[in-house]
Amino acid sequence: MEHAGLHPHPILIVGGGRGIGAAIAREWPEQSTVWTRSHAVDASDPEAVQSAFAAYHARHGAPFALVHCVGDFAERPLLGTDLGTFRHLFTSNVDTVFHTLQAVVPAMVQARRGRVVLFAAAGVDKDRGMLRAPVYFAAKAAVVQLARSLALEVAPAGLTVNVIAPGLIHHPHSHQESQTRMLPRVPQGRLGEVADVVGAVRYLLSDAASYVTGQVLTVDGGLQA
Ligand SMILES: NC(=O)c1ccc[n+]([C@@H]2O[C@H](COP(=O)([O-])OP(=O)(O)OC[C@H]3O[C@@H](n4cnc5c(N)ncnc54)[C@H](OP(=O)(O)O)[C@@H]3O)[C@@H](O)[C@H]2O)c1
């Protein structure tokens, strides 16, 4: 389906196998290519990402949009986080972004157009601590900072780079115990749906957002985390 204002160009969705990423892929089924480990691309492996992008580029050229949705969550206090979990959270949330950007964005710069959308989490762009999942939120804060810097780096080539920061988004694989516990902190009184996030992606990929870059778009119903 093609929407008014969205360029009919390819969209590459890293982590689009389920949850939010799968909903984005369903929105643009003809244009979307999905990478996940189940689709044989492990975004934590830089060589795998480079070689997957070489094959993608030979077929589609540079994508119009790069959407990165990978990002595991763990709700543990800082002093209760073991080294393996710490490393995994940074690998899943930050390394996969870095490898993907390095593999894909140079071709978008060469094409002199495109949109990059990364995923953080509601509240990480605020100047305060996070009691609930400190290592996850630290990794997401790194994603925001990478996006803000990349936005400046690639603006002259006509690319935008923005971040969506979801609150509690319900889907079959979301962290439902944690979301149910946090629900009273959502002034709108409901969990978010994947459609709420897809709407934000649709905006960032539209002509209406061509002058919006380096921003964090929070989709959380007013969550007081
Ligand atoms: N859901 C929420 O309430 C919520 C709230 C705040 C922020 N977020 C953020 O929003 C984004 C999407 O969340 P979600 O809940 O839709 O995530 P999800 O259900 O965990 O789905 C993540 C997707 O990424 C893929 N993936 C995981 N590791 C990968 C890797 N190393 N290489 C390639 N693909 C990989 C998974 O497929 P495979 O397992 O097959 O690889 C899956 O398709 C994440 O960044 C998350 O941190 C979500």
pLDDT digits (tens, 9 = 90+) for 35-83: 999 999 999 999 999 999 999 999 999 999 999 999 999 999 999 999 9
In the chain, which ranges are E strands? Answer: 11-14, 32-35, 65-68, 114-119, 159-166, 169-170, 192-193, 216-219
| Pairing relationship of beta strands 216-219 and 11-14 according to DSSP bridges | unpaired
Locate 147 and state its tokens: 């996006």
**13, 32, 35, 36: which to mutate for ligand 1, most atoms within 8 A of CB?**
36
Rounded to whole angstroms, the Cα distance separating 137 from 124 reads: 6
Q: How far is the CA of 156 from the centre of ligand 1 (A)?
A: 30
Average pLDDT on 190-219 reads 98
pTM: 0.97
Average pLDDT on 97-120 reads 98
Return the percentage of the chain with pLDDT > 90, whole number: 96
Q: Is the pLDDT of residue 162 over 50?
A: yes
CATH classification (class only), 11-219: alpha beta
Q: Are 194 and 172 in contact (CB under 8 A)?
A: no
Residue from 56, 136, 203, 211 carrying the catalytic annotation: 136
Locate 102 and state its tokens: 């390095």
Rounded to whole angstroms, the Cα distance separating 192 from 208 reads: 24
DSSP for 126-152? SSS--SS-HHHHHHHHHHHHHHHHHHH
pLDDT of residue 124: 96
Is 56 catalytic? The answer is no
Q: How far is the CA of 92 from the centre of ligand 1 (A)?
A: 9
Each domain of the chain, given as residue ranges in start order, spans 11-219
